Amino acid sequence: MEKALAQSRWYRLLPIAFITYSLAYLDRANFGFGAASGMAADLKITPAMSSLLGSLFFLGYFFFQVPGAVYAEKKSAKKLIFWSLILWGGLATATGIISNVTLLVVIRFMLGVVESAVMPSMLLFLSRWFTKAERSQANTFLILGNPATILWMSILSGYLIKAVGWRWMFIIEGLPAIIWAFFWWRLVDDNPKDANWLTESEKADLEEQLQKEQQGIKPVKNYAEAFKSRIVILLSLQYALWSIGVYGFVMWLPSILNAAPNMTIVKTGWLSSVPYVLAIIGMFGASYYSDKTLNRKAFVWPLLLLGAIAFYASYLVGVDQFWLSFALLIIAGGAMYAPYGPFFAIIPDLLPRNVAGGAMALINSFGALGSFIGSYIVGYLNGTTGGFGASYIFMAGSLLLSAIITLIAVKSPASARMGEPEKAIS
């Protein structure tokens, strides 16, 4: 049955999902390059204010995750993402135009609000189009927009800042989201039944398989019941801790590298891109074997543990051995990204359609809270200690706790009992 499902879904929908999430990630992550260049001096931003600005995005992201996902689940993910593309592109472009910190504070917070619904809405969208045995790989193609974007954005932003300055970097990198919104509207449908590019038999086969999977999941009557389940609570905490490491790394890697002797912004851009090459390879590998074995847990916690060890080892090596320390940061970055596909396949595997989107949004909102804490505290530690050792230990500890909670929260396939969403996992 799986082999008979329409292959056109893969080459039709996944490139669109990838581009959409790439543009979202571009307009949130390029702030690190602006901060590492002349932005702070031009706007008279102190180190403490820079940490706050870097993390404000995630505060807006945290508060508006669930409402956005509920709208996408009850009404239309297509419509929500269309307007989000236009608004976040406009806000990102405005970052290059403003001349005072107060407006920048508002823009960074509103950018988080607008982008907050994108991730859970896209995950919900894909869960309507891809089956359990396909979901981890489908999620990976979406989330691949994260490391792949940082890879090319790191290089492009370095050159743009050198050529035209930080203001034009924000303006040039914000406009594509507005243009892409109209492609998104034309190319996607909320549900398979609405797609004129599928045959009637392909629509029926896909819907039959998706309905069959729902029959094996214990009904959950509303969001309140889903949010109180053990698995959702623990994965929310797990993802918050994981995100501390990820976004502390993403937001401050350019500044960490730019502080090295004889470093230029262009070199910083090239070096900042390297960890994401390993991340892309790891994401493909983890998602493929997770779908093949239907074991999500085995492809999450060991990689988070590896990331924690690599961060701590980089701290032990110290700044005096730059290249060895950098190699360990490459491993940490790759290990942190690799588990995303399997991780976000857990909830749709366990919870029914009526609450899965909201549960994923709640988990992702706690990830945003962790991102806020991570980007702020890492920046604060770097500024107050005058080095990066303390922030390495902080990120390593967060990843270690995240790996431990994964072991506690998620049951292995052999011990899982079908029909108990708060305890079981496949």
Residue type, 233: I
pTM of this prediction? 0.75
Quote the CA–CA distance of 364 and 62 in Å, as a whole number: 8
Quote the CA–CA distance of 209 and 194 in Å, as a whole number: 17
Alpha-carbon 127 to chain mean position: 17
CB atoms within 10 A of CB 321: 13
CB atoms within 10 A of CB 278: 18
Whether the CB-CB separation of 25 and 148 falls below 8 Å is answered with no
Quote the CA–CA distance of 403 and 67 in Å, as a whole number: 29
Cβ burial, residue 287 (10 Å; 0-12/13-18/19+): buried
Place of tokens 């982008």: 115
Q: How many residues does the chain have?
A: 426
Quote the CA–CA distance of 129 and 379 in Å, as a whole number: 40
Quote the CA–CA distance of 108 and 88 in Å, as a whole number: 10
CB atoms within 10 A of CB 261: 6
Quote the CA–CA distance of 258 and 139 in Å, as a whole number: 33
Q: With residue 35 as reference, give the H or E element that holds it.
A: helix 31-36
Cβ burial, residue 111 (10 Å; 0-12/13-18/19+): buried
Q: pLDDT tens digits for the chain (426 residues)?
A: 444 678 899 999 999 999 998 888 777 767 777 877 778 788 888 777 877 776 777 788 888 888 888 888 888 999 999 999 999 999 989 988 988 888 988 998 998 888 888 888 888 899 889 998 898 899 888 888 777 887 787 778 878 888 888 899 999 989 999 999 999 999 999 999 999 999 999 999 998 888 888 887 787 878 888 888 899 999 999 999 999 888 777 766 777 777 776 777 778 778 877 888 888 899 999 999 998 888 899 999 999 999 999 888 888 887 678 788 888 888 988 999 899 989 988 888 888 878 888 888 899 889 888 877 877 787 778 778 877 778 878 888 999 999 999 999 887 654 444 344 444 433
Quote the CA–CA distance of 208 and 334 in Å, as a whole number: 37
What tokens were used for 288? 């493929």
Torsion angle, CA of 129/194/13/111, rounded to 10 degrees? -90
